[in-house]
Structure 1
Amino acid sequence: MTTSVDPITQARIHLAAAYRMAALHELDEGIDNHFTMVVPGREDRFLIMPFGCHWSEARASELLVFDEQGVTHEGDGVVEISAQCIHAPIHRITGAKVVLHTHQTWATALNMLQDNRLQPASQTAALVSTQIAYDDDYTGTASNPAEGERLAALARDKPIVFMKNHGVLAIGDTVAAAYRRLYRVERVCRMQMLALATGRPLAVLSDEMVRQVQTPGQDDRHPRAERERLFFEAMMRVLDRELPGYAE
């Protein structure tokens, strides 16, 4: 699908696709929140969609290139201030190639609760629950790089951050890895909130069972990276039918 293009073009296509997927999957807030990716071959410049565009309008050729100081090096448009302050420090400190931040409905709903821990009460939740770092101190809107530095220190080796009273972050080495995490988090948060709405207790899996679920079997034909790639390529095929134009 995108194997014959150069790395920067492919990065642009994948990030634009992720924006449109988020709109299709109702993970967006219209023009707000932000996805970023390190420009291949650089460590100090990042791709982002111009602020003011709806996520369903994302196009590879229209993504901006900016740096941590907020300077736009390529493209026309404005980088939203909280994207600069949150994402750039996280990229720099954690080494993450991709950082996705949303206020998606079900994950944010869970993070509105006093007890916002994701419980391993389903197979998918068991796969995700130990990958989460929790930010229990809402500090307001981000207008200073110190906020991104704080979140990076909190995340440490966890690829997902639950932000109390705020939303969620997902990071990864590829757009496919980060987006699959964001997608799965929303599903398991929805499952937990719906289960809690019954007023009945959750049947939480034991630590031993969680470890067993997370351990790949010897007959597993698809390693994690392969599953991430297949997932993302399948979602791009859906976009080609439902929201074409992201690769332009």
Structure 2
Amino acid sequence: MPKLERPKPPVFERVEDERLHRKQRLAAAFRLFARLGFNEGTDGHLTARDPEFTDHFWVNPLGVEFCDVRVSNLVLVNHDGDVVKGDQAINREAIAIHSQIHAARPDAIATVYAHSIYGKAWSILGRPLDPLNENACAFYEHHSVFHDCTEVLFNACEYQRIVETLGNNKAIILRNHGMLTVGQSVDEAAWWFINLENSSQAQLLAEAAGKPHIIEHNTARLTRNHIGAPSNGWFCFQTLYNRIVRDQPDLLE
């Protein structure tokens, strides 16, 4: 019998096909986040680097709910926050942190920041997550905490310090604000955010019930190397993508 291999991220010959693929994944992530309750009014941003103009990225338009985002209303902006393609406004101040991350991290194809209830609750504690299960181990020694958020909208100095605190990690907890994730694909970044939200919920419940048992260092690190690999983050998103496209095909318009 032939050996069946696990699916891998696609490789594109034409930049137009890769751009469409990223925009479809981005629109699907917005719809999924709306379904999961990660949206809060007009707050929250998911961005995807353009494959041709790599100092530009696609983002959701201002005032459009996550449940209404589709491929056709995504907006292309440059690193100064200027709209390059699209006919709707964007929140320039709110996406400034995305532009700094994309500039500092060439590997960051996508950046995710949304307002999820357990992520906000965990961020208030100002602590990194503990390796309590295999999902949480994905972030073991691979996420950081930024303690110095001083305003509802971050200022330029804070943007730079957030990027420095994020470093090469896949996620950062912004104390008293929420969480942000990055990935080598939209799929990966979206999955890390979903996983981080679920891990926050699990630890909050565990600590409310008693004293959690923490997975020991070597086991947590080995688990991270498998569960936390970019390829696994991409793979875990595929069933969610297929489901949301099946349920809401208009997102591809």
Which TM-score applies when normalising by structure 1? 0.89
Alpha carbons of structure 1 residues 133 and 26: separation in structure 2 relative to 1, 3 Å: same
Alignment deviations for residues 100-153 of structure 1 (CA, whole Å, 9 cap, x no partner): 11121111101112x522111222212223211110111213364433222111
1:182 corresponds to which of 184, 193, 196: 193
Residue aligning to 1:213: 223
Alpha carbons of structure 1 residues 165 and 63: separation in structure 2 relative to 1, 3 Å: same
For 1:129-140, list aligned pairs within 5 A: 129-140=140-151
Q: Aligned AA for 1:112?
A: I
Q: Structure 2 CA distance, aligned partners of 1:127 and 1:239?
A: 24
Q: Does 1:247 align with 2:248?
A: no
1:223, distance to aligned residue in structure 2 (A): 10
1:91, distance to aligned residue in structure 2 (A): 0.7
Q: Aligned AA for 1:228?
A: G
Alpha carbons of structure 1 residues 150 and 226: separation in structure 2 relative to 1, 3 Å: closer
2:243 corresponds to which of 226, 233, 238: 238
Q: Structure 1 CA distance, aligned partners of 2:64 and 2:208?
A: 35
Alpha carbons of structure 1 residues 141 and 68: separation in structure 2 relative to 1, 3 Å: farther
Residue aligning to 1:112: 124
Q: Structure 1 CA distance, aligned partners of 2:122 and 2:151?
A: 18
> 1:81·1:143 contact (CA, 8 Å) conserved in 2?
no
> 2:140·2:221 contact (CA, 8 Å) conserved in 1?
no
Alignment deviations for residues 45-93 of structure 1 (CA, whole Å, 9 cap, x no partner): 1101101001011111111111122211111111113333211111101
Q: Aligned AA for 1:202?
A: P
Q: Aligned AA for 2:245?
A: D
- Structure 2 unaligned regions, length at least 5: 1-9
How high is the sequence identity, in percent, across the aligned residues?
24
Residue aligning to 1:219: none
Over 6 Å off, 4+ runs? 2-5
Tell me, what secondary structure is at the counterpart of 1:130? coil
Q: Structure 2 CA distance, aligned partners of 1:43 and 1:7?
A: 12
> 1:88·1:148 contact (CA, 8 Å) conserved in 2?
no
Alignment deviations for residues 5-35 of structure 1 (CA, whole Å, 9 cap, x no partner): 7111111111111111111122221321111
* C-alpha RMSD of the superposition: 2.3
1:191, distance to aligned residue in structure 2 (A): 0.4
Q: Aligned AA for 2:111?
A: V
1:83 corresponds to which of 94, 101, 104: 94
Alpha carbons of structure 1 residues 148 and 105: separation in structure 2 relative to 1, 3 Å: same
Tell me, what secondary structure is at the counterpart of 1:101? strand
> 1:111·1:164 contact (CA, 8 Å) conserved in 2?
yes
Residue aligning to 1:63: 74
Q: Aligned AA for 2:124?
A: M
Q: Aligned AA for 1:164?
A: R
Aligned length: 241
1:246, distance to aligned residue in structure 2 (A): 1.2
1:16 corresponds to which of 3, 23, 27: 27
- Structure 1 unaligned regions, length at least 5: 217-221
